[in-house]
């Protein structure tokens, strides 16, 4: 391409020329006054919908989103009810058929849909039982990230200066202390259990979210709409919650979905070092942990929990994408 000189379009228009070409005249009496339009005139064609309502409706119209919601619902309900309904308990050991494969039926009529683990425990029940733990942890992680992480990061970023500096250095210190040490000290004062796991996660789990939110707020707060809101006298909390957070909601959602597997495997790590779910309970993380020991011979023991973690993750992620579209009016299509 040879660069050409752009023709100057503007210069071609002669501003002195008159625009009216018609030589006929229109008189006022040719018009009659019919009054305001009876049917409402400029009525609003679309229903007026609020922010959240719009998002929900958008989501409901999307088939994929609906399917994802159904999958998640199925996993949640399955985790709640299947262990109750199953003929096996999650701790029962069938020592006569350990490491049974999937769809195994024992000579005595025992049936194990997902096979058994190395202690002969029914994996089908353990997977669903594990879902209870892992999903609880996942929801707790989301909640902690939202409550502490977003607020902490928001405040730090918005107010900036010395406060920001101090709040961020506190995060540095929390991140700097070896996590294992925190857990070992927690163990001296607490027993194994879900509450302990959540506290152990909460101790540091929110820091990443706080950092992310703070970084985005730092960028946002210099933008015109924020300055505008400030000039109009909006309170800090209003600016933060009403103006800034919705603007970074998409990132928050993505980060939340990323935090979920982190929490699930934090729990597995805690179990490994003695602070996770009490023996003989299971979680997806610990099931995957057990599975890796023998993956060459009994691949399904690793694949099953990995599948459930992945499918849940995939649903959360896709749903997260849909949610961000739903919550961001600019992106709705």
Partner 1 sequence: MKRKQAGKLVLSVIMGLTLLTGCGSSTRADGEVTVNLASEPPQMTSFLTTDIASGTILRHVVVGLTTLDENDKAVAGIAETWEVNDNTYTWKLRQDAKWNNGDPVTAHDFEFAFDELFRTSNGSGYASTWAAYIEGAEEVMAATSIKLCPIIAGDEELADAKWDEENGYYVDGEGSPVADKGKNKLDEYGDPQYKACSQSDAEAAAQEKAIAEAYANKGWKALDDYTFEVTYTGPYPYIPDLMAFYSFLPINEKLYEEYGGLEGYGQDADKIAYNGPFTVASWTHEDSIILEKNENYYDKDHIKLNKIEFKMIEDSAAALNGFENGDLDMVGLSGEQYRQYVEEGKTTYAYEDGGNWYFQFNTTKKPFNNKKVRKAMSLGIDVQAYIDTVVLNDSKIGQSFTTPAIRNGEFYEKVGELYDRTNNDFTAIKTMLEEGLKEEGMTLADFKPSLLGDVGDSPLKMYAFFQEQWSKNLGVEVEIDQVEFKTRLERMDTQQFDIAFAGWSLDYNDPMTYLDLWLTDGGINQGKYSNPEYDEIIAAAYQEGDPKKREELLIKAEKIIAEDMPVGVLYYSTRNYVTTERLKGVGRSAFRDIDLRFAETIADGN
Partner 2 sequence: MLKYVMKRLGYAFLTILVLIIITFFMIHAAPGDPFSNGKAMSEATKLALQEQYGLNKSVPEQLLIYIGNIFQGNLGISTKYARPVTKIIADSFPASFDLGIRALFIAVVGGIFIGTYAAVRRGKKADSAAMAVAVIGVSIPSFIVAALLQYFVALKINQLLGPGKQLFPISGWTSEMHKILPAIALSLGPLATISRLMRTSMLDVLHADYIKTAKAKGLSERMIIWKHALRNALMPVITVLGPITATVLTGAFVVEQVFSIPGMGKYFVIGITENDYLLTAGTTVFYGVFLVLSTLIVDLLYGVIDPRVKISKAKE
* Cβ-based nearer residue to partner 2, 121 or 324: 324
| 117 conformational bin, left if phi > 0, alpha if psi -120 to 50, beta if neither | beta
* Cβ-based nearer residue to partner 1, 252 or 270: 270
**Contacted by 265, from partner 1, partner 2, none: CB < 5 to 8 Å by type:** partner 2
Determine if 86 is a binding residue for partner 1 (CB under 8 A).
no
Return the structure tokens found at 98: 């350990």
Site for partner 1 in 195-224 (CB under 8 A): none
Q: How far is CA 281 from CA 29, 36, 37, 314, in A?
A: 90, 73, 71, 25
Token match 């308990």: residue? 89
Closest CA to 135 of 286, 274, 264: 264
**Contacted by 278, from partner 1, partner 2, none: CB < 5 to 8 Å by type:** partner 1
Phi, psi of 175 (to 5 degrees): -70, -30
CA–CA distance, 200 with 61 (Å, rounded to integer)? 39
CA–CA distance, 267 with 277 (Å, rounded to integer)? 8
* Cβ-based nearer residue to partner 1, 93 or 136: 93
Crossing angle of the two packed helices 284-293 and 123-144, in degrees rounded to 10? 130
**Contacted by 28, from partner 2, partner 1, none: CB < 5 to 8 Å by type:** none
**Contacted by 219, from partner 2, partner 1, none: CB < 5 to 8 Å by type:** partner 2
Please write down the long-range contacts of 111-119, taking CB distance under 8 Å and 24 or more positions apart.
Answer: 114/300, 114/304, 115/298, 115/300, 115/301, 117/287, 117/290, 117/301, 118/290, 118/293, 118/294, 118/301, 119/93, 119/95
Q: Choose the binding region for partner 1 from 60-68, 132-140, 212-220, 276-284 (rule: CB under 8 A).
A: 276-284
CB atoms within 10 A of CB 317: 17
Q: Choose the binding region for partner 1 from 61-69, 226-234, 267-275, 310-318 (rule: CB under 8 A).
A: 267-275
Determine if 236 is a binding residue for partner 2 (CB under 8 A).
yes
* Cβ-based nearer residue to partner 2, 136 or 317: 317
CA–CA distance, 141 with 138 (Å, rounded to integer)? 5
Of 83, 154, 261, 276, the one binding partner 2 (CB under 8 A) is 261
Binding mask of the shown chain, residues 155 to 184, with x at each position contacting partner 2 by CB under 8 A: ---xxxxxxxx--xx--xx-xxxx-xxx-x
Crossing angle of the two packed helices 245-272 and 299-327, in degrees rounded to 10? 160
Determine if 293 is a binding residue for partner 1 (CB under 8 A).
yes
Q: Choose the binding region for partner 1 from 135-143, 231-239, 278-286, 318-326 (rule: CB under 8 A).
A: 278-286
Evaluate the omega torsion of the peptide bond into residue 272 and state whether it is cis, within 30 degrees of 0.
no
3-state secondary structure of 122: strand
For partner 2 (CB under 8 A), the number of binding residues is 63
Site for partner 1 in 94-123 (CB under 8 A): 95, 98, 118-120
Of 216, 271, 286, 301, the one binding partner 2 (CB under 8 A) is 216
Of 234, 294, 303, 307, the one binding partner 1 (CB under 8 A) is 294
Residues that bind partner 2 (CB under 8 A): 158-165, 168-169, 172-173, 175-178, 180-182, 184-185, 188, 207-208, 211-212, 214-216, 218-219, 221-223, 236, 250-251, 253-255, 257-258, 261-262, 265, 268, 288, 292, 295-296, 302, 306, 309-310, 313-314, 317-318, 321, 324, 328, 330-331
């Amino acid at each position: 391409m040879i660069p050409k000189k752009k023709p100057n379009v503007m210069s071609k228009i002669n501003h002195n020329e008159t625009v009216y070409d018609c030589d006929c005249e229109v008189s006022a009496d040719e018009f009659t006054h019919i009054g305001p339009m009876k049917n409402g005139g400029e009525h609003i064609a679309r229903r007026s919908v609020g922010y959240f309502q719009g998002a929900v409706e958008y989501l409901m119209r999307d088939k994929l989103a609906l399917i994802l919601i159904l999958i998640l619902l199925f996993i949640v309900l399955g985790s709640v009810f299947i262990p109750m309904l199953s003929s096996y308990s999650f701790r029962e050991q069938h020592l006569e058929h350990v490491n049974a494969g999937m769809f195994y039926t024992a000579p005595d009529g025992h049936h194990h849909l997902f096979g058994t683990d190395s202690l002969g425990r029914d994996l089908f029940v353990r997977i669903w039982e594990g879902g209870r733990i892992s999903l609880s942890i996942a929801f707790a992680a989301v909640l902690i990230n939202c409550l502490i992480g977003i607020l902490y990061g928001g405040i730090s970023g918005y107010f900036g200066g010395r406060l920001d500096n101090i709040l961020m250095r506190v995060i540095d210190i929390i991140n700097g202390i070896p996590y294992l040490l925190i857990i070992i000290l927690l163990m001296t004062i607490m027993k194994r259990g879900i509450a302990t796991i959540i506290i152990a996660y909460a101790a540091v789990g929110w820091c990443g979210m706080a950092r992310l939110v703070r970084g985005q707020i730092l960028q946002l707060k210099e933008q015109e709409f924020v300055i505008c809101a400030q000039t109009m006298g909006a309170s800090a909390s209003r600016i933060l919650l009403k103006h800034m957070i919705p603007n970074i909601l998409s990132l928050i959602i993505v980060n939340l979905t990323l935090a979920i597997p982190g929490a699930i495997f934090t729990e597995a790590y805690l179990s490994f070092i003695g602070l996770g779910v009490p023996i003989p309970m299971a979680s997806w993380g610990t099931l995957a942990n057990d599975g890796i020991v023998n993956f060459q011979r009994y691949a399904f023991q690793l694949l099953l929990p990995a599948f459930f973690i992945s499918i849940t993750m995939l649903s959360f992620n896709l749903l997260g994408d849909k949610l961000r579209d739903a919550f961001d009016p600019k992106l709705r299509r």
